[in-house]
Amino acid sequence: MKNITVIGAGTMGNGIAHTFAQSGFNVSLVDISQENIDRGLGTISKNLDRMIAKEKITEADKNETLSNISTFTDLKSGVEKADLIVEAATENVDLKLKIFGQMDEFAPADCILSTNTSSISITQIASVTKRPEKVIGMHFMNPVPIMKLVEIIRGYSTSDEVTTTIMELSKQLGKTPTEVNDYPGFVANRILMPMINEAIETLYNGVAGVQEIDTVMKLGMAHPMGPLQLADFIGLDVCLSILNVMHDGFKNPKYAPCPLLVNMVMAGKKGVKSGEGFYDYSESRKAEKVSASFK
C-alpha cells in the first residue's frame, strides 16, 4: 500500500495528509476548492516549520514531505490510483454518503475506503457502496501529526483482512490503533461529548463560570484542557453535530445537546475557528480571555 488519497483539505484532512506524506506515502489531497487546498498546504508547511524549530525534523525532511503530496480538485482524478482513501469531509451524513458513492464508482476495485468520521455509522456509509467489506472507520485525533490514537471502527460487513491491514498501516504512521465496534459516537465521542455537554449545562444552569469549570477539570481531574476550552478547539458546530448523531442513534435524552450549545452555533459562535466561543480568540488562539457573553 503506497498511494493514499485524502478527501478534504480542512483541519483533519491536511493533518492526515501531512502524517501520511511524512511517513513516505504518496498522497493525493482532494478538495473541491483550490483555496481550501492552498490553505491546507500552508498549514502543513507551517506545522513542518514548527517541527524544524523544535529540531524534530530537518529542512530536507520538510521538502521531502511536501514533495510527496499532489493536489486535485477533481475527485475522479484524485482517487483513480489509490490503494486507500481517507475521507475527511465535513461531519454531515448526506455529504459523506454522496462522496462514498462517488469514491466507490471511481476508485480501483481493490481500494479500501475509509472515513475519518467521529460519530456517523460506518455500516450506513458502507451501504451506498458495492464493497462494504472494504469500508472502515479511521478516526484520527486533532492535531493529527501529534496525537497517537487512531480509532479503527469496523462496520457490520468490514472484513477481518481489511481491519488487520488498517491496524498495521496505522502503526506504520507511528500511531496506536484501537479497534472498536460501530455504534454512534464509537468510544471517544460517546464518552467525551456527554462530558462536554454536561460542562455546558453546568454553565447554562449558573453553577459556575467558564474558567471555574475548566479549572476544576484541569486541576481536579488532571485533564490537560478544560471541557469548554476543548469544545472551542474541536468546534462547537462539530460538537453539536456529534451529539445530534448520538441522540438520533440511541434515542436517549442524555445525549440531547444543551440549548446553550444550540444557540451559540446558530449565532455563529463556533469556538477557535470563528474567533469566539466560550473564550474570545480575537487576540490569541489561547483560551486566556472569557467571551464577553459569559462575564
Edge-first strand listing for the sheet containing 176-181: 69-72, 26-30, 3-7, 84-87, 112-115, 135-140, 149-154, 176-181
Helix (H) / strand (E) element for 7: namely: strand 3-7
Q: Select 191-290's CATH number: 3.90.320.10, 3.40.50.2300, 3.40.50.1370, 1.10.1040.10.
A: 1.10.1040.10
Classify residue 144 by its DSSP letter: T
User: What is 3-181's CATH superfamily?
Assistant: NAD(P)-binding Rossmann-like Domain (3.40.50.720)
266 is in an annotated binding site: no
Cell numbers representing residue 246 in the block: 448520538
76 is in an annotated binding site: no
Residues of the chain below pLDDT 70:
none
Same fold, 3-181 and 191-290: no
Examine the residue annotation and report whether 159 is marked as an active-site residue of this protein: no
118 is in an annotated binding site: yes
Q: Which of 14, 47, 170, 189 is catalytic?
A: 189
The closest alpha carbon to 8, from 125, 91, 119, 124, belongs to 91
Residue 232: the pLDDT is: 98
Q: Which of 121, 151, 170, 241 is catalytic?
A: 151
Residue 261: the pLDDT is: 98
What are the residue ranges of helices labelled H in 109-209? 122-126, 160-172, 188-204
Residue 30: the pLDDT is: 98
Examine the residue annotation and report whether 168 is marked as an active-site residue of this protein: no
Coil/strand/helix, residue 205:
coil
10 is in an annotated binding site: yes
Tell me how far apart the terminal alpha carbons of the chain are, to the nearest angstrom: 53
What are the residue ranges of helices labelled H in the chain? 11-22, 34-53, 59-67, 75-79, 93-106, 122-126, 160-172, 188-204, 210-215, 221, 227-234, 236-250, 259-266
Residue 158: the pLDDT is: 98
C-alpha distances in angstroms, 47 versus 70, 83, 145, 205?
A: 18, 26, 9, 39
Residue 279: the pLDDT is: 98
Residue 71: the pLDDT is: 98
Q: Where are the domains of the chain?
A: 3-181, 191-290
Quick one: angle between helices 11-22 and 59-67, nearest 10?
A: 110
Residue 67: the pLDDT is: 98
Q: Which of 121, 139, 197, 276 is catalytic?
A: 139
Examine the residue annotation and report whether 181 is marked as an active-site residue of this protein: no
Q: Cell 490537560 maps to which residue?
A: 224
Rg (CA), the chain: 19
212 is in an annotated binding site: no
Residue 275: the pLDDT is: 97
Residue 117: the pLDDT is: 95
Q: Cell 502524517 maps to which residue?
A: 19
11 is in an annotated binding site: yes
Residue 294: the pLDDT is: 97
Examine the residue annotation and report whether 244 is marked as an active-site residue of this protein: no
Please provide the size of the chain in residues.
295
103 is in an annotated binding site: no
Residue 97: the pLDDT is: 97
12 is in an annotated binding site: yes
Q: Which of 118, 119, 170, 291 is catalytic?
A: 118
